[in-house]
Amino acid sequence: MNIFEKVRESVTMKQVAELYSIDTRRGMINCIFHDDKTPSMKLYDDHYYCFGCGAHGDAVAFAAQVTGLSQYETAKQLCSAFGIVHSSNEPFIKPVIQRETQREKEGKAFRVLSDYYHLLCRFREEYAPRSQGEEPSPLFVESLNNQDEYENYCNIFISGTQEERKDFIENRKEVLERAGKRVREYYGNSITGRSSEYVISR
């Protein structure tokens, strides 16, 4: 068993994150791979996955991003921190991060739902009537009609089960298409995530 396998077998993602003083109590953390304004990275027992940018990997890859060290040096550091016995003469074997198609689908779905939900939040705040007799903006009405619904959809991908997420992707394509259409209309085709500038003409 090489050093990477020993680390993966001995510690959980939560333990590694807490080693670097990252608060894991909510189950989701701000992604360490991109400028994450709201927590979009989920820590599973043996891997992490960001529903915002799609970054994923194991405990060593996560710790290496935090420390800036190579993955081999990081693995040795984790062994020292957690008292994991290993041989320093073991050859370096670069860990392979498997691409998981289902997770990528979940990440894309969550990004579309989340972008539209945040757009609705902006509509609710910026387009609310300023006086009692003012006719409400269609964008404000859209937020009233859809904000709670899309917040619930986002929660499926944050705290729902794998089966719930899979079922949503397979059976709620019209919801994703509608949200994606609205995102493209207001953000443009070049949107890269929630860090994009929202430019909306009133």
3-state secondary structure 64-100: HHHHCCCHHHHHHHHHHHHCCCCCCCCCCCCCCCCCC
Predicted local distance difference test score (pLDDT) of residue 140:
94
Predicted local distance difference test score (pLDDT) of residue 196:
33
At 56, phi and psi to the nearest 5?
Answer: -155, 155
Domain boundaries, the chain: 3-82, 101-187
Predicted local distance difference test score (pLDDT) of residue 88:
56
- Report whether 29 contacts 100 (CB < 8 A): no
Top-level class of domain 3-82: alpha beta
Hey, which bits of the chain come out as E strands? 28-29, 41-43, 48-50, 56-57
Instruction: Give pLDDT tens digits for 80-97.
Output: 888 888 765 555 455 554
10-residue mean pLDDT series, the chain (202 residues): 86 90 84 86 88 88 90 90 74 49 82 90 91 91 95 90 91 91 71 34 31
pTM: 0.48
